Each structure stands twice: as C-alpha cells, then as structure tokens.
Structure 1
Amino acid sequence: MSRSSFLLLAALLPVALSQLAGTNTAENHPALTWQKCTGTGGTSCTTQSASIVLDANWRWLHQGTNGFTNCYTGNTWNTTACPDGKTCAANCALDGADYSGTYGISTSGNALTLKFVTDSQQPNIGSRVYLMAPGSTTEYQTFNYENQEFFVYDLSLRNSRLMRLQLPCGLNGALYFSQMDADGGVAKSNGANKAGPKYGTGYCDSQCPRDIKFINGVANSAGWTASPNDTNAGTGTMGTCCPEMDVWEANKISAAYTPHPCSILGQSTCTGTSCSAANSTQGTCDQAGCDFNSYRMGDTTFYGPGLTVDTSQKFTVVTQFIGSPITEIKRFYVQNGNVIANSESQISGVTGNSITDSFCAAQKTAFGDTNTFASKGGLGVMSQASAAGMVLVMSIWDDHAADMLWLDAPYPPNKSPSSPGVTRGTCSPSSGAPSDVESASANAQVIYSNIKFGSLNSTFSGTPGGGSTTTSNPGGGSTTTSSTPPGNTGSCAAQYAQCGGSPWSGPTCCVSPFACKAISPPYYSQCL
C-alpha cells in the first residue's frame, strides 16, 4: 500500500506539520473511551477514559505562536520562514484544530466517527487520529499485543446519507498500530519539537513516508517536490520509518490485515535508497507486508454486501495475536450473534486462514512476490516492536498513488487479473481515482466503536438467541434477548454460545441439536 496519498489536506487554512505550539485556536482533544479486558467472555472489562488527537500533517502551520503568516501554502514552503529545516522548526507553529467543523471528526462515548469530506471554507479530505493515554495530553497510549486480542464493535463503513452505500471502491477505513514514539518524537528532537503528542506529531509507518513535513524536529523542506496530482502534498528527501501492524484496512468490497516488519525497530529517519521500495528487499521496511485479503486468497464469497460477512450491516472484528513471541495472527468476525471464522485460503500451495511465517512464505511463492516480509524479520520483529509499545492509529483516506487498487481491484495493473494474487476485489481497474471518489462519495464516513483490548478471549462472547432477558452481547454491555436461550437445559451451552477454549471454565457441551465447533482453535469454540 502507499500512504503518501493518505495526507490529503484541504482544511480551513493551508495545512502542515510544525514543531512549535500555536495559540490562535485552542487544542481540545475529543474524549473517547475504550476497555481493557481480562478473563473470558467479555464480562471483565474496565473502561479507560481517554481521547484522540488529529495528526499534525492536517494542521495549519504559521509563523510564531500567535502569527497568521503561513509557513506552508498549498504544496510550497515559505522560504523566508523556512530557509532550512532547523530554522523552519524554530519559526513555525502548529495550531489547534476545530475537530468537527473543519475535519469531520467527532466522538460520542466509545464511538469515533471520521467523515471523508468536510465542507468548511475549503473542503477537508480524510483524517488520521491517534489514541492518547488516559488523562494525558503529552503521551500516546501504547499497546503490547503479544498474546492479546483487539476488538472493534459496530464497525460501520457507511455513507451518511445513503445508509447502505458504504465505503466504496477507492476508499479505505484503516485501523492499525504504528511503532511511533509515545512522546511524539519530542526526545529525539533535542528540544526542537515543542508541540508533541498534544498536536499529533511523530508519525511513522512501514512505507517510510516522505510527505511528512517535520521529522524529529527538522522540517522536510530540503529537496521538497510538489505532488503532481495533489495540490496540498509533496515529498522531501527524508522519510520516517517504523514497523506497522495493519489490523484493519477495508471498504465495503475488500478487507485486509497485514503485518509490516522493519530492519530497524522504533522510529527512524531514512533518505534515498534507505527508504522502503515496493516489492524489494532494499530499504528499511517491508512495504508490501504479508496480507490476508480473503478475495485475494481465493474466497470470493466471504466478505462484501450480502456475503458471509455482510458489509451492509454492522459487524465486529476480532484480531488475536497468538504467543509471546507472536507466532500467529488470527482473524474472525462477529455479526448478528454469530462468530464467523476467517476464510480459508483457496490458493494452490497455500493453506490456512491466519498469518504465520510459513503462510507468508507460501503466499509469496504462489504469487511470485519477493519475500521482503521474511528478510525484514517476519513475525519475530513484529513481536519485538509490539513488546516495545505501539500507538493506535485510526483513519479514513483515498489514494493518490495507486487509487487503492492494491486493496480492492486487480493490482499491479501490468499483470493479468487472472494471475494468482493479482485480483484483490471486484472493483474495476479504472476505479478509485481520488477526484472521482471525492466527488461521488463525499458523504462517506467510518465509525469505530466499543474498542476493547485484552487477553485472548477476554473481549467478546457469542450471543444466545431468543426473547426477553438481558445477556452479554459481542459488543459488551447488555442487550435484551430471549427469556431463555432456545433449548437451554442449564448444563450445556446454547446455540452460538461459547463451549470451549483456552482458558475456558464454562460448559463444554451444547444443547441439542447443536455441536461444539472450534472457531479459533485452541482458543475459542462455539455451539453451532
């Protein structure tokens, strides 16, 4: 994937990343709760009162802390304020954000909504936000997902006016972990970065993006080249790299989860060939990663509108990271009370429905791809990155570099769509152009809600069917269901209920006529 196109900036004022903190607009982080879970079945979860912050690259950059002269306009630096990178950092300030009015970002309790296009004095396209540590304005929340699971409920990829027209071809609602510094790069800047996490500084990922305007307290203005197809973006000579775990990249047509290891742990700066290159072992990171996209892996009826995972309805995504160190990454879904195992590979020579080092090696061979995943350390490096702590990123974006074809259409365009691994979804090879997407799908939005993180099988349970008692549901809390689950005899689990796993102390048999089926062996079994 490419995230150079991710930074699609068109806000109230010309936008950029800075290192000073401006005072023209107060910075108030929207509150967002999430839950930390233990035990099993989603019943032992503690609410964390946190907040989110907008990435610095979307913000207004101006001279002085309370000035109004732009340091960056359109896709051009102000050479008076920014004759070089260090002087620019000393002269320019990053200002506060009007989250809902300018950027289309809002929260309500445990739900985060990101609108794709927001009309202010000028339209804003897309956004990227980070989860802050509870009660902090100076530190991002970090996660170690070794032997843990991550749960997002009521995932809704929809259009705000046409409720069943969800994120279309060319759009991506993404949730992922990045090994950013928890202090937003303040320590590495040697005092140059005065803005820090309060203003969303310090981004990095496995693409080693070169459109980040400040890296470790230095402006990326040297050798800056304006983008030929994005009036607000460009690239400098520096990139910013770090391991990345894509938990969820999706629209209504296709979805993928993808680990991306790097040869250097933590955030690092690259130049020239040390920055990553697609499908190449050169550079610091694995750009392509090892992805599991059900359509690409040969199951064309698993994910999409009206399919096994029906993207016209809300659903839950559960991702399990097995082992410490991590040896496997598993995915399954919960929809309408049913736990749905991830699809199995239908590609010759590739077996399984989860990501392991052996799966990745077989996939790369079958698709004729370079196994950069292995050369950069595979799951072992991802485990090390996790143990050091990774920041949660949530976003909505379109793609000026590749039209999102790598997610939902035949890609690369110079290969036959019938070749193994080329076609990733049903979207047309001509789809996804940002100008088309921004015009036709301006009302699109993504909602992430009821985020949970905890030990394996701690964040959810299957929901019994029936009519008027309150029982736990996959999203946590409670819901009104039946007075007694159908067929419940007391000692055995009802239809859709958990009946086994590790750890599991509940019933291991199922009421007739249902049988206990391994959904995520050996960690979760369900009566089906």
Structure 2
Amino acid sequence: MSLRITLVGLLATLASGLATAPFAGEEHPVLPTWKCTTSGGCVQQNTSIVLDKDSKLAKGAAGSRSAADYAAMGVTTSGNALTLYHYVNSQPASPRVYLLDSDTNKYVLMVLQDNQELSVDVDLSSLPCGENGAFYLSEMAAEGSGSAGAAGGYGYCDAQCQGFCCNEMDILEANSQATAMTPHPCKGNSCDKAGCGYNPYASGQRNFWGPGKTVDTSKVFTVVTQFAASGGKLTSITRKYIQNGRQIGGGGTINNCGAEGGSGGLPGMGQALGRGMVLAMSIWNDAAQQMSWLDAGSNGPCASGQGSPSNIQSQHPDTHVVFSNIRWGDIGSTTKN
C-alpha cells in the first residue's frame, strides 16, 4: 500500500510539474493544409502538427524539445504529407498528433456543420488486419489545457471520455482490409460511445474496400466526407472517394445518430461541428479486441488472431499510414484541381 501511495504521489508531482512547464522551444513539424471556398478556391494555411503529451511521456521525451523526437516517436512530415509509424526500432510508438495553427500555437478549429466537407489523401497499403489508421475530429479547446496548452499537446478528449467526455467524429478508422466512419455525439457526459457508424463490409459491400477492390487500398486515394445541413441543423454525413481521377460513390450516408434528447444525436454532432473541432491523427492496435469491431466477423474479412499486436509486430514491423493534402471548406471546393 505504501509503495502504491509513493508511486501515485510521484506521478502526481511529475504531472503537476509538466502541466506548469510548457514545451518551450519544441519544434512542431510543418504540415501545410488548405481552407477552401467555392468562390475563392483553396488557400494554404500555416499549420503544423503537435504530438499528444501522452505520446511524449510514454517515450520518456518530456524533457526533450527537438524535432528529432518526433521521428523517434514514429512521426515524420514531408511537404503536405504526414507519416505515422506504429513501431520504431522494433518498439511500439503508436503516436497521436493534432493539427496546430503555427501562427497562434492553438489547435486549428475546423468548422464543418453548414454544408462543408473535409478531404484527405490516404495511403493505407501497409496497414494489416488489426491496425487502425485514424483520422478524426475531437471537440477539444483551441488553447488546449494547462499552461503547456496546445503547443504541448494538452487537452485531449473524446466520446470514450479519455481525458474527459466530448464530441468525437471519426472521419476514418481504417486499415487495408476494412473501414468505418462513425459520429459519437455527446451531451455533457452522456456520450454515444458505440456511435452510429457506417462500415461498407458490414453493410453487405464485401468487394468495396481492399487491395484490388472498388476502393483499391493498395494505392493512394482521396477520402471526402461531406456534412449537409438544412435550417442550421446537420442532416447527413456522406462519404465519397476519388481514385485514379474517378469518383467512387457508395461510401455510405449517415442520416441519424440516436436520440437528440440522449447524447445529442446527429443535430448535437452538428452543433459541435459548428463550434469547431480539432483534427487528430493516430495509428494504433488493440490487444483486447484485436480490432475485431472494425475488420473481423461481420465487420471485415480478417480472421481471428490476425489482428493481435504480437502478430502485427512480427509480421508487419513497418506498418504505417500516410495522410496528405488535407483540405476543408464548402462542399465541392476541396477536390477541384
């Protein structure tokens, strides 16, 4: 008991010290993005990415401030492309990063409720069964939390109530074998933790997603997520894809998401999008469920055991995801040449 108390006290002291000591001088890798309108086209934004503070602490990098730390923790950028590696030097990194406004050191708030869309080019080709390349939105505060704030990667929240409870819009959770798009609305601490997802495989489209399939995950493609509104309320979320210059429909539409009086439903999700949400990107796997909720059984073609972290680490040590060419704005504006 005394050892546990000592350890708890030590961790509390460390956490307190870190919360009051901003990551001063940390170099945030540049990742340009674009904000678009139908009338004015796309304007490049001065954005960068910041590692979640837990990713830094997990690798013992709290006292280190250089950009080289990002590569050591599985994060690299090149031009408008972000690459996240799950393993670095055979050790798990599993990084999570957020989009940061380089001019203000605050998180970028994407306002997407009123007939807006978000597009991103993705490369999932090296993500096997059990792996998850996640591209999603969280209703975090723009300034983060504590004195370290957004520049230190503080303030995370989601609908699973990690950190604290907040609205979460899973734009893309995917590997090369399966994918899901899932709103998770919250009203206070009442969150739809299961969400109202759309998974093509689970919906009967068994040949839609995968290497050589309609959306060929062995190659790069563009993911477009559109948020349609009417009368100031979000009415639907629709997914489209573009690959080899061809638009691919059938990615799914979500028209409702539970009771508005409970967790807020689709209108509540729309209100969060109207207030602005922070873009998060991560790569992870799941020892408890082996990502079966995403890619096995009725959700995908993966067999039992394929998605175990030990199997992934031994068979796919280079597994990574690439997100690039991130654009948001009016529906129809982000994919114009």
Identity of aligned residues (%): 44
Per-residue deviation at 1:94?
6.2
Q: 2:332 aligns with which of 445, 453, 457?
A: 457
TM-score norm. by structure 2 comes to: 0.88
Closer, same or farther: CA 178–94 of 1 in aligned 2, 3 Å: farther
Q: 2:203 aligns with which of 297, 314, 321?
A: 297
Name whichever structure is richer in helix by fraction. 2
Per-residue deviation at 1:373?
8.0
Closer, same or farther: CA 106–386 of 1 in aligned 2, 3 Å: same
* CA distance in structure 2 between the partners assigned to 1:373 and 1:431 by the alignment: 38
Note the 1:417-496 alignment, pairs <5 A: 423-461=298-336, 472=337
Residue 132 (str. 1) matches residue 129 (str. 2): no
Partners of 1:61 and 1:94 within 8 A in 2: no
TM-score norm. by structure 1 comes to: 0.57
Q: Which residue of 1 aligns with 2:293?
A: 406
Provide, for residues 475-509 of structure 1, a one-character-per-residue CA deviation record: whole Å limited to 9, x for no partner: xxxxxxxxxxxxxxxxxxxxxxxxxxxxxxxxxxx
Per-residue deviation at 1:294?
0.1
Paired AA for residue 112 in structure 1: L
Paired AA for residue 128 in structure 2: P
Per-residue deviation at 1:251?
0.2
Aligned partner of residue 254 in structure 2, secondary structure = coil
Note the 1:197-216 alignment, pairs <5 A: 197-209=150-162
Per-residue deviation at 1:19?
0.9
Partners of 2:101 and 2:107 within 8 A in 1: yes
Closer, same or farther: CA 383–26 of 1 in aligned 2, 3 Å: same
Note the 1:29-428 alignment, pairs <5 A: 29-39=28-38, 44-60=41-57, 95-96=64-65, 98-119=68-89, 123-137=91-105, 139-146=106-113, 147-153=115-121, 155-158=122-125, 166-185=126-145, 193-209=146-162, 240-264=164-188, 284-323=190-229, 324-343=232-251, 353-357=252-256, 375-410=262-297, 423-428=298-303
Partners of 1:116 and 1:125 within 8 A in 2: yes
* CA distance in structure 2 between the partners assigned to 1:453 and 1:101 by the alignment: 27
* CA distance in structure 2 between the partners assigned to 1:21 and 1:109 by the alignment: 31
Partners of 1:331 and 1:341 within 8 A in 2: yes
Residue 20 (str. 1) matches residue 17 (str. 2): no
User: Which consecutive aligned stretches of 4+ in structure 1 deviate over 4 angstroms post-superposition?
Assistant: 371-374
Structure 2: state its 5+ residue gaps.
1-13
* CA distance in structure 2 between the partners assigned to 1:16 and 1:441 by the alignment: 34
* CA distance in structure 1 between the partners assigned to 2:304 and 2:264 by the alignment: 33
Partners of 1:289 and 1:373 within 8 A in 2: no
* CA distance in structure 1 between the partners assigned to 2:217 and 2:51 by the alignment: 27
Q: Which has the larger radius of gyration?
A: 1
Aligned partner of residue 187 in structure 2, secondary structure = coil
Note the 1:498-513 alignment, pairs <5 A: none
- RMSD (CA atoms): 2.5
Closer, same or farther: CA 372–379 of 1 in aligned 2, 3 Å: closer
* CA distance in structure 1 between the partners assigned to 2:261 and 2:181 by the alignment: 17
Partners of 2:200 and 2:206 within 8 A in 1: yes
Provide, for residues 124-181 of structure 1, a one-character-per-residue CA deviation record: whole Å limited to 9, x for no partner: 42100000124122x100011111000102x1113xxxxxxx2000100000000011
* CA distance in structure 2 between the partners assigned to 1:101 and 1:21 by the alignment: 23
Provide, for residues 256-280 of structure 1, a one-character-per-residue CA deviation record: whole Å limited to 9, x for no partner: 111001121xxxxxxxxxxxxxxxx
Aligned partner of residue 241 in structure 1, secondary structure = coil
Partners of 2:74 and 2:93 within 8 A in 1: no
Higher relative contact order (CA 8 A, sep 6+): 2
* CA distance in structure 2 between the partners assigned to 1:101 and 1:263 by the alignment: 37
Structure 1: state its 5+ residue gaps.
1-14, 63-69, 73-92, 159-165, 186-192, 213-239, 265-282, 344-352, 361-370, 411-422, 462-471, 473-528
Per-residue deviation at 1:22?
6.3
Q: Which residue of 1 aligns with 2:3?
A: none
Paired AA for residue 292 in structure 2: L
Paired AA for residue 441 in structure 1: H
Paired AA for residue 244 in structure 1: E
Closer, same or farther: CA 149–171 of 1 in aligned 2, 3 Å: same
Partners of 1:56 and 1:94 within 8 A in 2: no
Name whichever structure is richer in strand by fraction. 2
Per-residue deviation at 1:442?
1.5
Per-residue deviation at 1:194?
2.3
* CA distance in structure 2 between the partners assigned to 1:99 and 1:404 by the alignment: 28
